[in-house]
Amino acid sequence: MIKDYFLEKRKYVIGGAAIIIVVVYLVRLFVLQISTDDYKKNADSNAFLNKIKYPSRGAIYDRNGQLLVFNQPAYDITVVPREIADLDTLDLCQTLNITKEQFLKIMTDMRDRRRNPGYSRYTNQMFMAQLSAEECGVFQEKLFKYPGFYIQRRTIRQYTYNSAAHALGDIGEVSMRDIENDDYYIRGDYIGKQGVERSYEKYLRGEKGVEILLRDAHGRIQGHYMDGEFDRPSIPGKNLTLSLDIELQMLGERLMKNKIGSIVAIEPETGEILCLVSSPDFDPHLMIGRQRGRNHSMLERDNQKPLLNRALMGAYPPGSTFKTAQALTFLQEDIIQEDSPSYPCYNGFVLGGLRVGCHPHGSPLPLVPAIATSCNAYFCWGLVKMFGDRKYGSSQNAITVWKDHMVSQGFGYRLGVDLPGESRGFIPNAQFYDKPYNGRWSGTTVISISIGQGEILTTPLQIANLSATIANRGHFITPHIVKEIQDNELDSIYRVPRIPTIDKAHYESVVKGMRAAVTGGTCRMAGYIFPDGDVCGKTGTAQNSGRDHSIFMGFAPMDKPKIAIAVYVENGGFGATYGVPIGTMMMEQYLKGELSPANAARAEEFSNRVIHYGDEER
């Protein structure tokens, strides 16, 4: 009886064990065939070799068809880890001019799935990138000694000119984030890191192709699978035509040599950026090849920050160039009129115990000569009157109206240029002042913003855009550096005019003031340097902890303008010292195609001028 009972129980135990074994096998089969492709890769790798065909990256030209960026051959070494056998590591390292420690680190990093999430020992993995033809030739002669290693032909960037590095940008190896964000990339691929290379990456990169090659039992390549029926050719990247004028760009970089600052020039009618100078700059050739990382680190350590694109990222007080935006706002709000009122200037603005200095000139002045002479008092009085006007109810309401006008003119937010890293600058609002002053403040409290000082911050691009807006008499097109994409349309944002909240009629008054600044005001030097240029301009001298910054904003010719420009020279002193002559020579170069002999000599002299920054020179 008892024996029968245990026999009966054993039957269930054996049956249960059998079921468990079957379930385990089924789960394992599911994992092997569905959840993981390791065995598929193993089987495929025995019979096939998928060889990626990398596309050539699109070339880049300037607005006149000058080739700026092109491709040259380079070679990568890849490895299928499973195929490595009887490897003479020492000989391999000597051939590739690396140490054994470097070899071991490469292999360790390759197997690290956090660094290389696409790792499989059955597929091609990146070993070394961007070998020159000479380096590759030495390796290829010995390739038969290194089973599992292959040569992959690629291209790297080359530059026609040692110029426009910030605008053009560079390419570098993809990061983990790049791979996670876009499944186009695998470890060892290259991607645009800065400039146009980054913002137009999806156009420039093209599409990868693939060759499916057959192997025999010994792993030797026997030819294309199915005579290449399933091969896919690579598709080259799209070529770009930039709006840059490379001759103008190189002149700007030469004029800014030994200085810190920026030059931005825009074609007012189209919003196309004609030059984008950030100084100090660097040679784009430093960002080519396997020395890119070392050179990038060297530039990062430079305390003059040559990698910083000051044209877009530099946030500066605009100084007196901002008075043109103030004038437009005051005219729109009926705070002033072109001919009246005329505010007094007692060598500055004086109200109670408050004083803002100014340089000697006639007084009182209406708007046009106030712009021409850059009278501080005139714009201080305008701000005090607007922020105290009863129609707004309070200073808080008045500054809200004031800020809305400034934002509509392109300040306080990113303009949307087709380059990475643009700064928004800063235009204060009521809440910004309410906190420190407990809500009790007025125009006199924040008087410095009336002349582009205090809390106001703008980028050189925004100042150039203001100049283009005035040149157009009341509209601008979002600044952009790409003029044309091969077989593609530009984003519509770079075609549609943007209209500020200022009536078009008011712009003519400011144009008159900027022209008067050249014929008899603070920009007189522009008329002397480029007498037949019909230049309109506005100087700026921005205070800071050291020597003042030199600023110029202008356009030419006065009617049907072709170029609008902003020049910002840190610690350059008065606007007329550096800003005006540099900006005027740039306008002459663009409009005439060359500098006059006198200005060519002047340009050489300016390029040799050194501005001292503390204990250092640049």
Rounded Cα gap, residues 425 and 321, in angstroms: 15
Q: pLDDT tens, 184-205?
A: 998 888 999 999 999 999 999 9
The residue ranking higher by pLDDT, 275 or 48, is 275
Topology given in CATH for the domain delimited by 246-612: Beta-lactamase (3.40.710)
Coil, helix or strand at residue 98: coil
**pLDDT at res. 615:** 44
Report whether pLDDT(330) > 60.
yes
**pLDDT at res. 7:** 54
Average pLDDT over residues 144-173: 92
Q: pLDDT tens, 409-445?
A: 999 999 999 999 999 999 999 999 999 999 999 999 9
Listed by start position, the domains of the chain span: 49-238, 246-612
Please give the mean pLDDT across all residues of the chain.
90
Select from 196, 166, 160, 168 the least CA-distant residue to 280.
166
**pLDDT at res. 211:** 82
Q: Which residues have a Cβ under 8 Å from the Cβ of 71 and sit 6 or more positions away?
A: 56, 57, 59, 155, 156, 157, 158
Report whether pLDDT(518) > 60.
yes
Report whether pLDDT(43) > 60.
no
Q: What is the pTM of this model?
A: 0.87
Average pLDDT over residues 385-406: 96
Rounded Cα gap, residues 580 and 587, in angstroms: 11
Report whether pLDDT(124) > 50.
yes
The CATH number of the domain covering residues in 49-238? 3.90.1310.10
Least confident of 35-49, 94-108, 124-138: 35-49
Q: Could you check whether 49-238 and 246-612 share the same CATH topology?
A: no
Rounded Cα gap, residues 18 and 12, in angstroms: 10
Q: pLDDT tens, 74-89?
A: 888 999 898 888 899 9
Average pLDDT over residues 580-588: 98
**pLDDT at res. 616:** 41
Q: pLDDT tens, 472-496?
A: 999 999 999 999 999 999 999 999 9
**pLDDT at res. 47:** 65
**pLDDT at res. 533:** 93
